[in-house]
Chains A and B, each alone.
Chain A
Amino acid sequence: MIMPRRRQGHRGFFALFEHLDSTIEACKALRAAGHKGFRAYAPLPEHHLLEEGLALKHSPVRVFTLAGAMTGAATGFAFTTWTSMDWPLVTGGKPVFSIPAYVVIAFELAILFGALSTVIGLFINAGLPNLRRMVAYHPECSNGSFGVYITAPPAQAEAVKRILSGFDPAELREDPEGFDV
């Protein structure tokens, strides 16, 4: 297990919420108070939380998908063309560079490379696999509850705590040391 990254001089707060709407409202309130870089936890891809609560927009994963698919198609065409030009031999009366036949190879490689680079893009952007010890986490977040984790310097800690407790959390945990998650 790798140790988690610490945020020096910060305190950490983990609030566990039972309700979706209070989680969204809490995230909105934290953003309104000027806080960034906090984490929300959910047991499902909840679009309202991601889009309303956290205002997340485009994901760069799509660039990986496009780049991978185009690389795959180019590789497929280049590979088939190069190998047939390497020893040009007419077989079955077909042209040495048989475009329709090579489309099949290029297509399959476009899908293969596109899919694999999508996964790479996801892993890079989402920070997976995450081998660090799970500190700022609550097992209920994979069951039926939502969570918010935020770190703040001691000067702002009380304000953050007040915002979070305003939304009726089921549990509010305070770490003397904040973690970068």
Chain B
Amino acid sequence: MATADARQRGALPNPDVATYEAVNRDVLKVLSRPGKGWWVLFAMAAAGVAVFLGSWFYQIYQGIGVSGLNAPVGWGVYITTFVFWVGIAHSGTLISAILFLFRAPWRQAIYRASEAMTVFAVMTAGLFPLIHVGRVWHAYWLIPYPNSRFLWPNFRSPLVWDVFAITTYFTVSAVFFYLGTIPDLAAARDQARGLRKKFYQVISLGWRGTDREWHHFSKAYIYLAALATPLVLSVHSVVSWDFAMAIVPGWHTTIFAPYFVAGAIFSGVALVITLAVPMRKYFGLEDYLTVKHFEAMAKLCLLTSSIVLYAYMTEYFLAWYSGEPPERGSFWNRVFGHYWWANWIMLTCNGLVPLMLWFKRVRRSIAALFVISIFINIGMWFERYVIIVTSLSHEYEPWAWGLYRPSYVEMGILLGSFAWFGFWFLLFTRLLPPVAIAEMKEVVPPPMSSRKEAAT
């Protein structure tokens, strides 16, 4: 009965998992044994976090001068990395909210991990404005409140919009993530013992899976998804307006919002692949994250890569067609100027390498996808670097042109941010069920009494 309906809804029963009990067993097993590999990775992440904090404290102690930021390039690696991590965050909400509303049958297995990725990526991104402003003890000035002369911040500034967009995004994605885990935390509670049981007892909020709870929960989940969907599209649009609202050649264009959103989803899905491949292998989740899931994500990458490539071409065309010398000069400088290599890394990784995804054999090869996804991650970081640094280094007046070179402190913070992200992600895989248990059961055939099975 329910199985037939599930098929009609488009939610294909997962062929590799047979029973509800198997879902609990396989997913909760991940929480129970850390293993040597996990500890090695965790130690590496912790060391990276030390580098991150060490570099940051050094910068706080010495002043922002230890970074390579100067006139004319006042936004460098920090803002590049900020935009990169905000972009990474987007695929999580895409998979958990947008694909939920579209009833995509493959999201159940992957969405918990990608949603966790969203929360940790926004947590990472949120640090970069604080790092970038230098005097971090004044970071609370970002909060919109009046100064001592009772003058309020300028709400026409995209930087103020950004504060609203990022804090809203972090709050809503964290709430959405936590709410989705509550039934699974209850499942973990029911199987755990000792201290762990206490922990899950508290954070599962006494969930029992009653009809009353599920009824309101599933409704609330739909409304949250419906709110998160426009939110995710708005956040990267607002981030893109940080640039597009300025009159810098190379930034001041209306294509930026959709271009950034597509790029964000592109990079985010790529990072989901990068993380899901080792997770599946290491935790023995091959029956859950199947080749079908990876192929679906590869198609999403292919689509967004095409949009991004199209946006690159549009930018070049419009720079030429505008007839504006500074605009033309800026784009000529991107391709053949001092930062030519960054631009070509971007075009190769984001435009050329993903073309391989047109082949079904590549889309179905997990090893190939893993490699391609790393190329995309690199390419998408360089995309933001190209947009930010080359545009600022080559504005209107030739005497005001200048170059930027990231310092070691900036590189330390950049690499450390990956460790910071990995640190939280590793903790997540040990403490929270990394695959959504309750939602997985929706694509597993429900247990029916034999009487009924004979009838259908």
Contact = CB atoms under 8 A, between A and B. Distances in A.
Interface residues of A, number: 68
B352 interface: no
B223 A42 contact: no
Contacts of A53: 211
Contacts of B206: 128-132, 134
A56 B210 CA distance: 12
A144 B234 contact: no
B393 interface: no
Nearest to B182: A128
B176 A115 contact: yes
Given A43-B209, A112-B172, A130-B206, A50 B214 contact: yes
A144 B220 contact: no
A64 to B, nearest CB: 8
Interface of B is mostly: helix
A101 interface: yes
A59 B219 contact: yes
B156 A94 contact: yes
* A105, A112, A116 — most chain B CB neighbours (10 Å): A112
B150 to A, nearest CB: 7
B217 A144 contact: no
Interface string A12-45: 0000001111100000000000000001111111
A80 interface: yes
Contacts of A132: 206
A54 B168 CA distance: 37
A65 to B, nearest CB: 4
Interface of B: 1-2, 5, 19-21, 24, 146, 150-156, 160-161, 164-165, 167-168, 171-172, 175-176, 179, 182-183, 186-187, 189-191, 205-220, 223-224, 227-228, 230-231, 234, 238, 437-439, 441-442, 446-449, 452
A44 B207 CA distance: 12
Interface of A: 18-22, 39-50, 53-54, 56, 59, 61-62, 65, 69, 80, 83-84, 86-87, 91-92, 94, 98, 101-102, 104-105, 107-109, 111-112, 114-116, 118-119, 121-122, 125-132, 134, 137, 139-144, 168, 181
Nearest to A95: B156
Contacts of B21: 143-144
- 8 nearest A-B residue pairs (beta carbon): A130-B206, A144-B20, A129-B205, A139-B190, A83-B152, A59-B219, A122-B220, A44-B441
A118 B161 contact: no
Contacts of A181: 208, 210
Contact of A105 (B161, B176, B220, B441): B161
